[in-house]
Structure 1
Amino acid sequence: MRTLKDRQGGQCQCARDGKTPWMFIRRQRRDDTVVWVTAHLPLTHAATPEESDKHKAMKERIARTASRHGLGMQTEARSDDGRVITDVLVTGAGGRIGWEAQYSPITTSTSTSTSTSTSTSTVRRRSQRARERNIAPLWVTADVTSDLIDRASWARVDDVPWQRIVSPLAVIIRGGVRHLQIWKCTTASERPCPEAAGACDRWHSGWFLPPLCIPQERATAPDELIVTSADGEHLAVHFRNRQDPRRTSYVWALARDVQRWRVGVCPSSARTGDPESGLLHARGELDPTPDDQFQGMPAEVQAGRQPKPPRDGQAAGCQP
């Protein structure tokens, strides 16, 4: 359970004391009497100096880029009711984007299973509060196994030293930004049929990472997404998994691709009369089927030692 103040969106004293808002009940002996008392769960992870430096460096980069392009920018932005505090709030013609630089794990429990569910609920709760205040959340992580991936709008960057993050040198987004691809499934197609062993002569579509597009698309940099998301050129889109409708995922996509998807440019969706064909809502994000799962991953994972499977992968859409 959480403290009442934390559940209501405030910041309880425990946070200032370096404790989690999650609590449990334990027995304690007082003057020959056994009583039940509440106690905070211990923190399972405190940000290391390196993680803190990267966090601050990414916040600085976001703020500097927004200011350089004439966008509204506020660091540690607090909503009017005090329930939402955003690392960097960027405002443009397309809306308000709440950037969250997440370089340390989101953990609040000593139990592995509880830790996973808690981190998930934390991301979802904070993201929902932001959306309720017309802020589109955008979480940045460098961890391919991060629990925030597909729990809210996200972007994964290379894990580089803080000096590189804060420098003018380019940093590339490796996951979370996709491009719409539409193709006729024939024997001459450069893509295999996602539905059958051979060519089915139907139309398919999918959302692909830039290196997997045909022809290959240019990768997006965080500096670019800072501007285009605020201007409305990139939108966050929320999709259901085609193989498992219970699962949903998020991606950032070009507004023109989202528009093509929504108006039913995909011939198969036009035939079914469902122009969205799995799209839940714009200004949300998509879903994984691992095709790029080893790209940019740590050496130990590439070598076959997988402490935790990657979360960001391939997502497909329009069904025949």
Structure 2
Amino acid sequence: MANGVRHTGYDITIELTHADLGHPGPEWSGLLKEITTPIQHRDRELLQCLQHHETGYCPAEDEGRSPWMTIRRRTVSGVTTLVAAHLPVRGKSTPEESDRHKAFKERIERAAHRHGLNVEQEVRTGDGKVRTDVLVTGSAEQIGWEAQYSPVTAPTVLRRSAAAAEREIQPLWVTNDDRSALIDRTSWVRVDDWSWREILNRPAMLVRGGVRHLQDWKCMPSSERPCPVNVSSCGNLRAVWDLPGLCLPPRPATAVDDLVALNAEGQYVPMKIPSQYNPRSSTRGSPKPTGLGGAP
């Protein structure tokens, strides 16, 4: 059980076992009252799991809990302590989320029709075990687009992605939340937080995260990129999957409408890219050799 939480407003760590919460001084006198305010009267994302803040993952997420915390008082043998507890993932979609979900499905269907691709909404596999928001069929792949505008748990993402892949459907999840549990757990892209009207009517909807491009170069003194292993150039051939804005020269952001066809025709493929800094970590995305958030 955690003995600390991260305060996202002040960007500080709160030590629950310390009488002063790890922050002495009169300027922090209201901190205890703030963190123990009932969840219905404060920002739900005010307090974050410390492990999730430090590593991007907490095992509680695999049990249907969110990375956001509440603080409770527990009294045992007359001694009161502060205890952090994970908030549950909010399961039911709000009306706004439902409207955006429907609008995104319609946008994908319209884009597929413009590119001459076969497309169906709310499709179930023959055994009835997998339902896909929008199924787009191209010459290379069947892409199962999943519009996720409401909270989702990591186990749900993993289970549904694996089930789709077993039935030869390549899942592609879409989120507008850069902290969604689906990120780096399946093939994914992130889009802007638009209203349903904007999703339906704006001419260009861009991918803001999840797409990477292959960059290769020879590590020479004249190279624009620094050598990743030495202070000076090493003379070796190097390659890296990079975000569009970090490419040399920078690549333009991919439009969602274009991605509908590019993915189904095999020009964008799911990849799991090991982190160059942490061998236990990886990024999933859509490379082009361009890579999408990764294979399930």
Same fold (TM over 0.5): yes
1:182 aligns with 2:216: yes
| Number of the residue aligned with 1:127 | 161
| Number of the residue aligned with 2:199 | 165
In structure 2, what residue type is equivalent to 1:102? Q
CA contact (8 A) 2:90 2:151 kept: no
Give, in angstroms, the shift of residue 183 of structure 1.
Answer: 1.7
Give, in angstroms, the shift of residue 43 of structure 1.
Answer: 6.9
Give, in angstroms, the shift of residue 71 of structure 1.
Answer: 0.9
1:54 aligns with 2:120: no
Residues 155, 43 of structure 1: alpha-carbon distance in 2 compared, 3 angstrom cutoff = closer
CA contact (8 A) 2:211 2:293 kept: no
Give, in angstroms, the shift of residue 46 of structure 1.
Answer: 2.2
In structure 1, what residue type is equivalent to 2:175? T
In structure 1, what residue type is equivalent to 2:263? S
Alignment partners' CA distance in 1, 2:199 and 2:165: 28
**Paired-residue identity, %:** 50
| 1:124-181 alpha-carbon deviations (Å, 9 max, x no partner) | 1100000000000000011111110110000111112211111141011011111111
- What are the residue-to-residue correspondences of 1:135-214 with 2, within 5 Å? 135-214=169-248
Among residues 215, 221, 232, which one is paired with 2:249 in the alignment?
A: 215
Name stretches of at least 5 consecutive residues in structure 1 with no aligned partner: 1-20, 23-41, 107-118, 259-282, 287-320
Alignment partners' CA distance in 2, 1:44 and 1:63: 28
Give, in angstroms, the shift of residue 64 of structure 1.
Answer: 1.2
Alignment partners' CA distance in 2, 1:143 and 1:197: 37
Residues 227, 131 of structure 1: alpha-carbon distance in 2 compared, 3 angstrom cutoff = same
Pairs aligned (count): 211
Query: How large is the Cα RMSD of the aligned pairs?
Result: 2.3
1:285 aligns with 2:278: no
| Number of the residue aligned with 1:94 | 140
| Number of the residue aligned with 2:40 | none
When normalised by structure 1's length, the TM-score is: 0.61
Alignment partners' CA distance in 2, 1:43 and 1:201: 50
| 1:104-143 alpha-carbon deviations (Å, 9 max, x no partner) | 111xxxxxxxxxxxx1111011000000000000000111
Deviates more, 1:120-129 or 1:183-192: 183-192
CA contact (8 A) 2:104 2:147 kept: yes
- What are the residue-to-residue correspondences of 1:247-258 with 2, within 5 Å? 247-255=281-289
Residues 80, 284 of structure 1: alpha-carbon distance in 2 compared, 3 angstrom cutoff = farther
Counterpart secondary structure, 1:229: helix
In structure 1, what residue type is equivalent to 2:280? R
Counterpart secondary structure, 2:183: coil
CA contact (8 A) 2:189 2:293 kept: no
| Number of the residue aligned with 2:260 | 226
CA contact (8 A) 2:188 2:293 kept: no
